[in-house]
Amino acid sequence: MDDDLPIVAPPSLPTAADHPDTPALPVHYDKEPIQVIRDVRQPLPRSQNPAYRHINNQESAGSKITKRSYLNRLALMLGAPEIEKRTYLDPNTGKEDRRQLHPDQLFPFDYVRWEQLSVNVMEDLLAELRDHKEKPVSAATRNSYRALMRGVATEAYKMKLMDVDVLERIKTVKSARYHRLPGGKAQPDRIIRAMLDVCDKVDDAIHARDGLMLTLLVTSGLRRAELVGIQLKNINHETHEFSVTGKGNKERALMMPDVIWERYIDYLARYRGDRPGFLFTAIWNKRNEPSLGKGLSVATVNQRIESIRRRASGLLGVAIAPHDLRRTFATDMFNNGMTIREIQILLGHASAATTETYLFDESAEYRQKSADLNAGRFKKRAIEKQ
C-alpha cells in the first residue's frame, strides 16, 4: 500500500514558517484525528484494540484475512508504521512456510486508537479510497470498508471505549450507490469437457487431483474456499454425501454424483491414500506422500484452473473465471427443472435474490430485441461507380 497517500500529514513535514513564500495548501485536520503510535516497539494491547476484537470475532478464516488486509490499509492511510513480516518455521520440517502466519506477527492496525474513529475521519478515508489516482476503489469494495469501520466502532462501544452517540453518528455514513451487470457466466459443456480432457490425458497425481477439483466445482457449485476446506472426515463413504463450511460458518451437505465418486475413489486409491486430513493438498515431485495437514490455498485453485484453460484445446482467448463454475452449476440445475429455492440451499446463499443473479440477466432479452429491431437500419450504401 505504499502508493496510498495518508490523510494525515506526518509531523516531520516542513511548515509555512520554513518556507514563507510557498502558497498554502489545503489541510484536513489541525491535529491527528486518531492517535497513531509510530514506535513499532509499542503496539496497543490487543485486549484494548477494538479492531483486533472485531477480526477475532469473525467465524470465517477468509473474512479474517480480508478484514485484516482492509484494516491495515486504513491504518497506513492514518500514518501507522509499516511492519516487517516475521518468518514462520514449520515445526515438523524446520523450513519456512510463507502461507502460515507467525503467531506473534504484528500489523499496522495494532498501532491505531480505533476508538477515536469519527464520522469525519470515516468519510475522509472512504473518499480517499474512491479518489485514489492509480487504483480507485470500487463502490462495492468501499461499502465493505464502510461495514468494517462500523463493525470496529460497534466493538469499541461494546468495550466501553466509545460513546453511543458517536457510534450512532458513524452509522449515518451512507453506503455508495452503484449498479453493476452480473459478473461471470455459465460455461457450456464443451468448455468444461475441453478442460477435463487436459486432466484426463495425463496419468499422474496432480492431474487426477485437478480433474476431481474441477468436476466437484461444476457439479456441486462449491465456493473455492469450501472446496479446499474439505477433509476426509467430511465425506460419508456409505451415502456419498459430504459436508462443507460456507460463509457465516454455515455447514451444508451435498452429494457426489456417481461419476465424480469414481474419480474420488481413483484419486484416493492411486495417489492420496485414505489417511485423515485434507482432500486436496500440494503434490511435490520429490515427495512420496502428500502433506495431508495442509489443504491447497484458494490462490492455487485459481492458478490450476487458469493453467488448465491455457492448455485446453479450442479455448484460446476464452476467459474463464473460477466462479464461473459455480454459476454453471446453478444454471444447469435451473435449466433442468430445479427451483430457485432448491438451488439457493445447494449454493448456501442466505438470500434467494443472490441466487437469482446467478441465473438471470433480464437485460439480455432487451438487448437482443433492440438489436433485432435495428437489424436492417442504416446499412452502408454501396459506392456508385462513376
Model confidence pLDDT, tens digit, residues 284-313: 665 566 778 889 999 999 999 999 999 998
Amino acid at 362: E
Q: How many CB atoms lie within 10 A of CB 362?
A: 8
Backbone φ and ψ of 372, nearest 5°: -65, -40
At the topology level, CATH places domain 189-366 in hpI Integrase; Chain A (1.10.443)
Q: Is the pLDDT of residue 9 over 60?
A: no
In whole angstroms, give the CA distance from residue 134 to residue 115.
30
Nearest to 137 by CA among 220, 148, 107: 148
- Residue 26's alpha-carbon distances to 11, 49, 64, 132, in angstroms, are 16, 31, 36, 17
**Share above pLDDT 70 across residues of the chain, in percent, rounded to a whole number:** 88
In whole angstroms, give the CA distance from residue 49 to residue 67.
14
pLDDT tens digit sequence for 204-241: 999 999 999 999 999 999 999 999 999 999 999 999 99
In whole angstroms, give the CA distance from residue 62 to residue 384.
66
Query: Which residues does the annotation mark as catalytic?
Result: 223, 247, 323, 326, 349, 358
Backbone φ and ψ of 201, nearest 5°: -85, -5
pTM equals 0.69
SS3 283: coil
Q: Is the pLDDT of residue 17 over 50?
A: no
Domain boundaries, the chain: 1-180, 189-366
